A and B are shown apart, each in its own frame.
Chain A
Amino acid sequence: MAAALPLVLLVLLLLGPVGRGHAEPPRDSLREELVITPLPSGDVAATFQFRTRWDSELQREEGTDHNFLRYAVLPREVVCTENLTPWKKLLPCSSKAGLSVLLKADRLFHTSYHSQAVHIRPVCRNARCTSVSWELRQTLSVVFDAFVTGQGKKDWSLFRMFSRTLTEPCPLASESRVYVDITGYNQDNETLEVTPPPTTTYQDVILGARKTYAVYDLLDTAVINNSRNLNLQLKWKSPPESEAPPVPFLHAQRYVSGYGLQNGKLNTLLYNTHPHRAFPVLLLDTVPWHLRLYVHTLTITSKGKDNKPSYVHYQPAQDRLQPHLLEMLIQLPANSATKVSIQFERALLKWTEYTPDPNHGFYVSPSVISALVPSTVAAKPVDWEESPLFKSLYPVSDSSSYFVRLYTEPLLVNLPTPDFSMPYNVICLTCTVVAVCYGSFYNLLTRTFHIEEPSTGGLAKRLANLIRRARGVPPL
C-alpha cells in the first residue's frame, strides 16, 4: 500500500492540471459516501468511498495489450498513519468539509480492522473510447470493536466512532450521502433505532442478501440545517444475542505445517458452506523462490477424496528472479472443506540476502481466491452510474451469482538462518581447524614412514666429498 501511494501521487501531479484545463467543466467531479453497517456482535463497520473524475486529453494508446495483468504484493507492509495522511490529501476537500472531516487518525487506528485503497482507472467517454476520463476512487473501511472502543456497550453514534459530527457537505461534491444498514430492523423499530429518523430508504441485493439502507443526503439542506450538525445514532432496543456470526458461503484459511528448518507444507483450506450448491473457485498462489515447491506433492482433497483441478497453470520460480506462480481452478463440493497442500523445501540464502531481522521469518504472500458464489436472491442488473458507489465493491455478474475475491492471511516462514552475531569467530575457527588439522591428518594418513639409517658411505665417496668441499661445490 505504501509503495503504491507515491506512484499514484505522481500520476496525479502529471495529469491533474491537464484535466482541469479542459474547456468543458469537469463532469461529476466528486461523489462521496459513507456506509455504516451495525453487526450483530455489536461491532460497527464503516466504509468511506470518494470518487473523483476528471477529463483527460490523453489519448488512449492503440495496440496495448489490456489483458496483461500484473500482480504484486508486499505482504509485510502494515497500513499506518503515514499512509492515511497522503491519502487524505488526494481528496478535493482534504479533511476540511464533507464526510472527510470524520477521518481522524487517532480514531481510525483505534479499530480492529482497517483497510485503505486507491484505485485509478481510465473511463471511456464515448462508445469508441477515443477519449477518456480518469477516475480516482479512494476507499477506507474500518470496523469499530465493541470490546475495545465501545467499552462493551453496543450503542453507537458518529461522535462516539469518530469524535466528530458532520456539519456541511463538501462544496465540490455532486453527491454526498450516508447509508446506514437497517436490514431486518426497520419493520417495527423493535431491535434497532436510528436517530434522526431517515427520510428515504434504499433497497438492494448485496452479496446474495436483500439489504435495506437508511439514506441521509448531506446536500439536502433539511438534514443538516435543523441542528447545524448531523450526529447519527444507533441504539439497540433489545440487544442482539451474542451468538456465533453467520458463516459466509465461501471462506478460506492458510497455514504452514511441519516443524524444523528443512521441509514444510503450505496448506490452504477452502470452505464451501453452501448447503447444496457446488461452485468452482480460482486459486492464485505466488510463493517466493526461497521456498522450493515440490509440485508433485500438490494434493487437493475434499471430503476425504481426491479432487482433481480442472485447470492448473504453474510457472516455476527462478532463483532471485521470479517467484513460483500456481493457479488452479477447483470445484468445491457443497458443504465441504477442501484442503490444498504442497510441500516445500527451505532454501539457504546468500548471507547478504537476509533481511536485517532474519529471525523474524520471511513472508509468503496471501493466496487469492476468486469465485462466483451462487446467490439465493436474484439481483437485478445495475446501472453503475445511477446506483450508490458502494455497489462497485460487490460486482454482480449475472442474476444467479455474485463475485467474491478473498485474500487469505499472509504466512511467516522461518528459513535456516546463520548466527550473524559471530560470523568472524566462526570463520576464523573453521578455517584454522581445517587448515591445521585436516592437512596434517591427511598427510599422516596417506604417507608411510620408513627410517633410513644414515649411512656414511665408502671411502671413495668421503674422499670425493672432501675434494668437492675444497672446490666449493655441494657434497654428494
Chain B
Amino acid sequence: MGLLSDPVRRRALARLVLRLNAPLCVLSYVAGIAWFLALAFPPLTQRTYMSENAMGSTMVEEQFAGGERARSFARDFAAHRRKTGALPVAWLERTMRSVGLEVYTQSFSRKLPFPDETRERYMVAGTNVYGILRAPRAASTESLVLTVPCGPDSTNSQAVGLLLALAAHFRGQIYWAKDIIFLVTEQDLLGTEAWLEAYHDTNVTGMQSSPLQGRAGAIQAALALELSSDVVTSLDVAVEGLNGQLPNLDLLNLFQTFCQKGGLLCTLQGKLQPQDWTSVDGPLQGLQTLLLMTLQQASGRPHGAHGLFLRYRVEALTIRGINSFRQYKYDLVAVGKALEGMFRKLNHLLERLHQSFFFYVLPALSRFVSIGLYMPAAGFLLLVLGLKALELWMQLHEAGAGPQEAGGASGPGPPLPPAQSVGLASLVAPLLISQAMGLALYVLPVLGQHVATQHFPVAEAEAVVLTLLAIYAAGLALPHSAHRVMSAQAPDRGWMALKLVALIYLALQLACVALTNFSLGFLLAATMVPAAALTHPCGPRPLYAALLVLTSPAATLLGCLFLWRELQEAPLSLAEGWQLFLAALAQGVLDHHTYGALLFPLLALGLYPCWLLFWNVLFWK
C-alpha cells in the first residue's frame, strides 16, 4: 500500500498499467481459460476420499435378495398403471401397507404460467404416495428418503418395484436408527416439489397441495432412483441440483464405495472414468466429463429429483440405471444391494453430512477439484474486467486533469468535479433504460401471452418464447432511443464513463455468480469478457457488433446447447439446434416459475441489461 500512497510511484504504476494493459488483459484471459482446461489434469484434480468418520470403514454386509420380488412388484405396478392411466394410488397404498409401512398420500395441483409444450400440460394435478418405516424405539427425529419420480414420460416401474422390495427387506431389520420414507411422486419433479414444500410447510412456488398427515423429523439425506429395465449395464449418478447446488461430496463418495464393492459399472455424466491418469488420454476424457458437468451445473436445472431436496439442506443424489449394449448386465439384486449398503451407512450418520466439500467440480467419479483450485480460473477472467476498468478510470482521470495540466498547474490534482458530474448524469438514462428493458424481458412474456395469442396465430408457449426473443432483439435499438434523452456534452468522456460502470457492474455480477455457481459464472465470463473488454465506439464497428451479439447471453445459451450435444456424441444440426434453443428458453422460464430456478431472472434482470450497456457503448455518438 505504500506503493499507492507515494504519488510518484503511483504515477509510475499507472503508466505501467496503461501501457501494458492490452498484453496484460490477453495474458490474464488466456491464463483463465488455460487454468480451467488444466483442472482435468492430475496436479489440480485430486482423488476423492471419505471424510465422514461414521461412514468410513465398510462394515456393512448387504443381505438384500428380493430381486424376484422387485420384478413382480414392478410388473404389477406397470399393469395397474396401464389400467388406470395414472399413478395407481390405491394399489401402491395397499402394497406399502402390506409390507408394513405407515402409508399416507398427498394430492397436489399446480397451474403452470403457460402450457408446457413438450409435455402438453397446463393444469397439473397428481397424487404422491409415501410410506414411512418407523425406526424401532426411536422418536422419529431424523429420517432418510428414497424417492422414485414417476411421470408421463418416465415410467420407472422397475424403480418402484425395487423401492417396494427394499421397503419389505428394510422392514424386517432391527438396526434402523432413522426413519425411512419411501416416496413415489407423480408428475416427475412437480410432485417432488409439492411433497417437499408440504413436508417443510412452506410455499415457495405457488403450489396447491393437501397438508401431509405423517412426518418423520428432519430429513438427513435422500436418494432418488430411476430405473426402467429389469437389468442394467451401468449406474449413472447425477449430482447437479437446482441453481447449480451440489450435495456434499461424501454422498458421492459413498455411492462410489458401493460401486466398487459390488463391482458395478458406474458413470458420471454418462462417461466412464478413465483408468490411466498419467498419460494425456485420461485427463482429456476427464475434461469432457468436466465440461459436461459445467454445462449441466450452469443450466441451473435440477438434474433429477434429488435437485429439489438440496434447497432444504438435504444432501441428495439421483441414481439412474442405464441399459445399453454392453455385455455385462446386473440384475436388480446388485442395484438393491448397493442401495441397501448406502442406506445402512447413512443410518450410521451421527451428524448431517458436512465434513466434505460442498463446492467442487468433477472430472471423473473418483476425482474432484475443490473450490480453492478452480476459483483462480474465474478470477483470471474477472481480472481482465478489472484491468480494463482501471485503464478507463485512469484515462478519465487524465482527461479530466489534462486541460488543467495544460493550464500550467503543477502536479496532477483530483479530476475537476464539474466534468465528473456531467459524465455521471449522462449515465443515468442508458442505465435506467437498459434496466427497464431487462424488467420488460422478465415480466412481459408471461404477462402478455394472452394478448399475443389473440393477435397472432401462435400457441401460448410459442408466444412466450417469441415475445422473449422480440424484446431481446428490441433491446438492440436502445442506443438510438437512449441518445435522444441524453445531453451531448463531452462525448468521449461519456462512453468511457458508461463503459467503466458497465465493466464494474459485469465484474460484480460475475464474481457473485461464480462464487455460488462456478460453472455458470465461468461460462458467462469466458464468453462475455472479451467482447466487453474490446467494445469501443471507434474502430471496426460491424466487427465489434458481431462479436458482441455472438457473446450475448442468448447466443451463449445456443452455443452451449451445441457444445453439450457435441460432448454427448449426438451432434445437432442447425435446425434441431434452433428448435432445442426455443424449447430451452421456454423451459428456462417454466423452471423459474415452477421450481424457483434463478437463471432466467439472473439473465433477464442482471446480465442482459449489463450487456445492453456495452451495446450502448459500441453505438455511442
The 0/1 profile, CB within 8 Å of A marked 1, for residues 93-107 of chain B is 000011010000000
Also in contact, A414 and B313, with CB within 8 A (given A258-B200, A359-B351, A363-B141): yes
Could you say which residues of chain B place their CB within 8 Å of the CB of A412?
A: 141-142, 217-218
Could you say which residues of chain A place their CB within 8 Å of the CB of B411?
A: 450-451
A148 touches B218 (CB 8 A): no
A257 touches B98 (CB 8 A): no
Tell me, in angstroms, the Cα distance from A449 to B355 when the chains sit together: 50
Nearest CB of B to A368, in Å: 14
Tell me, in angstroms, the Cα distance from A414 to B4 when the chains sit together: 46
B1 touches A444 (CB 8 A): yes
Does B450 sit at the interface, judged by CB under 8 A? Answer: no
Could you say which residues of chain A place their CB within 8 Å of the CB of B313?
A: 259-260, 414
Also in contact, A253 and B215, with CB within 8 A (given A265-B201, A447-B5): yes
9-residue interface stretch from B131-139, B285-293, B602-610? B131-139
Does B311 sit at the interface, judged by CB under 8 A? Answer: yes
B215 touches A255 (CB 8 A): yes
Nearest CB of A to B8, in Å: 8
Does B171 sit at the interface, judged by CB under 8 A? Answer: yes
Chain B residue at minimal CB-CB distance from A407 = B139
B139 touches A409 (CB 8 A): yes
A449 touches B141 (CB 8 A): no
A112 touches B136 (CB 8 A): yes
Could you say which residues of chain A place their CB within 8 Å of the CB of B171?
A: 147-148
Chain A, range 365-421, C-beta contacts under 8 Å to B: 409-414, 417, 421
B354 touches A267 (CB 8 A): no
Does A440 sit at the interface, judged by CB under 8 A? Answer: yes
A443 touches B1 (CB 8 A): yes
Also in contact, A113 and B354, with CB within 8 A (given A255-B215, A412-B141, A449-B5): no
Chain B, range 383-429, C-beta contacts under 8 Å to A: 410-411, 414
Interface centre among B8, B134, B138, B352 (most CB of A within 10 A): B352
Could you say which residues of chain A place their CB within 8 Å of the CB of B201?
A: 255, 257-258, 265, 267
The 0/1 profile, CB within 8 Å of B marked 1, for residues 110-142 of chain A is 111110000000000000000000000000000
Does B140 sit at the interface, judged by CB under 8 A? Answer: yes
Does A242 sit at the interface, judged by CB under 8 A? Answer: yes
Could you say which residues of chain B place their CB within 8 Å of the CB of A359?
A: 351-352, 354
Nearest CB of B to A339, in Å: 9
Could you say which residues of chain B place their CB within 8 Å of the CB of A255?
A: 201, 215, 217
A360 touches B97 (CB 8 A): no
Tell me, in angstroms, the Cα distance from A78 to B137 when the chains sit together: 8
B141 touches A410 (CB 8 A): yes
B202 touches A410 (CB 8 A): no
The 0/1 profile, CB within 8 Å of B marked 1, for residues 245-267 of chain A is 00000000101111110000101
Does B84 sit at the interface, judged by CB under 8 A? Answer: no
Tell me, in angstroms, the Cα distance from A441 to B3 when the chains sit together: 12
A444 touches B137 (CB 8 A): no
Tell me, in angstroms, the Cα distance from A260 to B100 when the chains sit together: 34
Does A357 sit at the interface, judged by CB under 8 A? Answer: yes
Could you say which residues of chain B place their CB within 8 Å of the CB of A453?
A: 410
* A257 in complex: contacting residue of B134, B140, B202, CB < 8 Å: B202
* B136 in complex: contacting residue of A145, A242, A256, A358, CB < 8 Å: A145
Could you say which residues of chain A place their CB within 8 Å of the CB of B200?
A: 257-259
Tell me, in angstroms, the Cα distance from A409 to B313 when the chains sit together: 21
The 0/1 profile, CB within 8 Å of A marked 1, for residues 147-177 of chain B is 0000000000000000000000001111000
A357 touches B202 (CB 8 A): no
Nearest CB of A to B6, in Å: 8
The 0/1 profile, CB within 8 Å of B marked 1, for residues 424-461 of chain A is 00000000000010001101100111110100000000
Tell me, in angstroms, the Cα distance from A426 to B350 when the chains sit together: 25
- What is the total number of residues of chain B having a CB less than 8 Å from a CB of chain A? 37
Nearest CB of B to A357, in Å: 5
A411 touches B352 (CB 8 A): no
Nearest CB of A to B303, in Å: 20
Also in contact, A111 and B136, with CB within 8 A (given A258-B200, A411-B141, A450-B411): yes
Could you say which residues of chain A place their CB within 8 Å of the CB of B571?
A: none
Tell me, in angstroms, the Cα distance from A420 to B511 when the chains sit together: 27
* B7 in complex: contacting residue of A358, A436, A451, CB < 8 Å: A451
Could you say which residues of chain B place their CB within 8 Å of the CB of A209?
A: none
B4 touches A444 (CB 8 A): yes
B172 touches A410 (CB 8 A): no
Does A298 sit at the interface, judged by CB under 8 A? Answer: no
Does B312 sit at the interface, judged by CB under 8 A? Answer: yes
A414 touches B141 (CB 8 A): no
Chain B residue at minimal CB-CB distance from A259 = B312
Does A309 sit at the interface, judged by CB under 8 A? Answer: no
A410 touches B174 (CB 8 A): no
Chain B, range 169-218, C-beta contacts under 8 Å to A: 171-174, 200-202, 215, 217-218
Does A79 sit at the interface, judged by CB under 8 A? Answer: yes
Tell me, in angstroms, the Cα distance from A110 to B1 when the chains sit together: 70
Tell me, in angstroms, the Cα distance from A259 to B200 when the chains sit together: 7
Tell me, in angstroms, the Cα distance from A440 to B3 when the chains sit together: 11
Chain A residue at minimal CB-CB distance from B413 = A450
Nearest CB of B to A255, in Å: 5
Chain B residue at minimal CB-CB distance from A366 = B139
Also in contact, A360 and B350, with CB within 8 A (given A148-B173, A409-B141): yes
Tell me, in angstroms, the Cα distance from A360 to B354 when the chains sit together: 10
Tell me, in angstroms, the Cα distance from A245 to B134 when the chains sit together: 16
Tell me, in angstroms, the Cα distance from A255 to B201 when the chains sit together: 9
Chain B residue at minimal CB-CB distance from A355 = B351
> 7 additional contacts, CB 8 Å, given A436-B1, A441-B1?
A78-B139, A242-B98, A253-B215, A361-B218, A409-B140, A414-B218, A440-B4
Task: List residues of chain B with CB under 8 Å of any chain A CB.
Answer: 1, 4-5, 7-8, 97-98, 100, 134, 136-142, 171-174, 200-202, 215, 217-218, 311-313, 350-352, 354-355, 410-411, 414
Task: List residues of chain A with CB under 8 Å of any chain B CB.
Answer: 75, 78-79, 109-114, 145, 147-148, 151, 242, 253, 255-260, 265, 267, 357-361, 363, 409-414, 417, 421, 436, 440-441, 443-444, 447-451, 453
13 pairs from A and B in contact (CB 8 Å cutoff): A78-B138, A110-B174, A111-B137, A257-B202, A259-B313, A410-B141, A411-B141, A411-B218, A417-B354, A444-B1, A444-B4, A447-B5, A451-B411
Listed from nearest, the 9 A-B pairs whose CB atoms lie closest are A257-B201, A440-B1, A359-B351, A147-B100, A360-B351, A112-B136, A412-B141, A359-B354, A412-B218
